[in-house]
Structure 1
């Protein structure tokens, strides 16, 4: 099994969030190094950890690249070798079930919730992002539920950066006759999505009510482009790619269609909204889950009114 190592730095909340932003803007970042930031404890909200996960012993260059993400005086860092086991799986095996909107998400170690009106999904611990336990994924589930309750109709759906496939599964559950296309840049996700689809009785295929899984970087796949325009497009990725992909999303979503975005911190919201407005979207609703933002936007059907300004509504964050 591949060795796993971790580099850790303790810094202020702002310093870690700025480092995550700097990571997104580093063009030659080694994608084998996965970053995450989190608060040390609930009662210490201004103290954060920046962690880098590596499939090898960190080199001097790895440590230098990690430290270069911090502006000003860099913090002290520590590195450690992790046990020879799948740390991603282990970190999720004890994850408690979550409820987001009408959705109940749990690992196989926990029972399903068999109650009227509840949509239950079993998502095993694994190597793809999107088990529902991260605040962005849970927020997207809650926002999808709010969209359905608000009367949104979707017949053609795309989930960009699908990870485990969970958001695509949830969208199909809400709009069971829709054509659903899911994609991810990581080829590992193909087997993950297909396995999760089988476990949750989600049919794979190319017809209405079925899920098609693709490997694609953003919208760069012939089938993604051929199936456009979409009346619902979901992208729970990172703020940098969301800004870069905004023009492509503008071309891929129908007038009046919905765009659901997450993977961005609250401090990154303005930049993402600015790019999306330039691409023809207007903000409809926002939600906060901790430090993360979940955005629902609609594609404009007419030119923006010259005099009237409508503020987006805020939805509860929990």
Structure 2
């Protein structure tokens, strides 16, 4: 099936959001619309639409002019088997003892490494992203240093790759993985089954720590949260309440320039920074609860 994209740029957020709303009402209606700040320090914003029918380029030109935007760049995309493409592009990732791979690389797990199977169709959280990779390295290092958490919570678990790594690193621990999104929980449960870890990790749908399983198991010795800066800062007081004294929190989903704000929020809630690992533009923080 042929698909089309249309992109333009604007000088400020208000104009971009207004154009994004107008774009959503176009005939043919786009399948999706995105409004993003361009991360080059220019202050400019990008608006894009994704279409399964060819958009009317005259209408797009009028829309751009009405919102003081640059002309839309419209492209027809070739038909692509994206899962097959991702499988070709995603190579196995090594993070300490962990070897994260897709089913197409199942025979490549090196001797002495622990394989974690996450398929390309569930690519977010495979370990290729700097945030997931940083958290996996942190888990491996803490285990190597002799840290032994009895209870672990993976908040915003996505594919549950971090919960699985924790269950393997600490076989005697109680591990709970949670996500606010029901579909993510289904993906996590599927990954647990594929990796033979369904009996080791309890997977629940929850906002933050608001679930009976989390409430009855906490406070936790280790909390993993690979989400985003905003939710991490909002969760700081609750994280402190749910982290045992001398427990650890591994936080990621944080851009390098956002790290100081997250550290400050957690220091204000009784944590102190133990380790920081920058991978590309992303930061992973390991904090200890005082």
- The interval holding the TM-score normalised by the smaller chain is 0.7 to 0.9
Please report how far the alpha carbon of residue 82 of structure 1 lies from its aligned counterpart in structure 2 after TM superposition. 5.6
Against the structure 1 CA distance between its residues 201 and 39, is the aligned structure 2 distance closer, same or farther, given a 3 Å change threshold?
farther
Residue 143 of structure 2 is matched in structure 1 by 148
Cα distance in 2 between the residues matched to 1:55 and 1:184: 30
Is 1:230 the equivalent of 2:220?
yes
Please report how far the alpha carbon of residue 92 of structure 1 lies from its aligned counterpart in structure 2 after TM superposition. 2.7
Residue 202 of structure 1 is matched in structure 2 by 197
1:121 equivalent among 102, 116, 123: 116
Against the structure 1 CA distance between its residues 82 and 248, is the aligned structure 2 distance closer, same or farther, given a 3 Å change threshold?
farther
Matches within 5 A, 1:149-298: 149-204=144-199, 210-298=200-288
TM-score (norm 1): 0.69
Please report how far the alpha carbon of residue 36 of structure 1 lies from its aligned counterpart in structure 2 after TM superposition. 8.4
Name stretches of at least 5 consecutive residues in structure 2 with no aligned partner: 18-23, 25-31
Against the structure 1 CA distance between its residues 116 and 189, is the aligned structure 2 distance closer, same or farther, given a 3 Å change threshold?
same
Q: Which has the larger radius of gyration?
A: 2
Residue 27 of structure 2 is matched in structure 1 by none
Cα distance in 1 between the residues matched to 2:69 and 2:206: 36
Q: Aligned-residue CA RMSD in angstroms?
A: 3.8
Q: Is the 8 A contact 2:248 2:286 kept in 1?
A: yes
Cα distance in 2 between the residues matched to 1:90 and 1:9: 29
Q: Is the 8 A contact 1:128 1:189 kept in 2?
A: no
Against the structure 1 CA distance between its residues 54 and 223, is the aligned structure 2 distance closer, same or farther, given a 3 Å change threshold?
farther
Cα distance in 2 between the residues matched to 1:81 and 1:185: 35
Please report how far the alpha carbon of residue 51 of structure 1 lies from its aligned counterpart in structure 2 after TM superposition. 8.4
The number of equivalent residue pairs is 261
Against the structure 1 CA distance between its residues 267 and 165, is the aligned structure 2 distance closer, same or farther, given a 3 Å change threshold?
same
Cα distance in 2 between the residues matched to 1:97 and 1:51: 33
Cα distance in 2 between the residues matched to 1:35 and 1:120: 38
Please report how far the alpha carbon of residue 8 of structure 1 lies from its aligned counterpart in structure 2 after TM superposition. 5.0
Residue by residue, what CA displacement relative to the aligned partner does 1:269-318 show, whole Å, maximum 9, x if unpaired? 01100111111100000101101000000000xxxxxxxxxxxxxxxxxx
Cα distance in 1 between the residues matched to 2:100 and 2:36: 22
3-state SS of 1:223 partner: helix
1:130 equivalent among 125, 128, 142: 125
Residue 70 of structure 1 is matched in structure 2 by none
Cα distance in 2 between the residues matched to 1:270 and 1:178: 31
Against the structure 1 CA distance between its residues 169 and 55, is the aligned structure 2 distance closer, same or farther, given a 3 Å change threshold?
farther
Q: Is the 8 A contact 1:112 1:120 kept in 2?
A: no
Please report how far the alpha carbon of residue 98 of structure 1 lies from its aligned counterpart in structure 2 after TM superposition. 1.1
Matches within 5 A, 1:23-62: none
Please report how far the alpha carbon of residue 248 of structure 1 lies from its aligned counterpart in structure 2 after TM superposition. 0.8
Against the structure 1 CA distance between its residues 33 and 218, is the aligned structure 2 distance closer, same or farther, given a 3 Å change threshold?
farther
Cα distance in 2 between the residues matched to 1:144 and 1:37: 33
Q: Is the 8 A contact 2:177 2:201 kept in 1?
A: yes
Please report how far the alpha carbon of residue 220 of structure 1 lies from its aligned counterpart in structure 2 after TM superposition. 2.5
3-state SS of 1:203 partner: coil
Cα distance in 2 between the residues matched to 1:4 and 1:179: 46
Cα distance in 2 between the residues matched to 1:280 and 1:243: 13
Please report how far the alpha carbon of residue 81 of structure 1 lies from its aligned counterpart in structure 2 after TM superposition. 6.5
Structure (1 or 2) with the greater helix fraction: 2
Residue 106 of structure 1 is matched in structure 2 by 101
TM-score (norm 2): 0.76
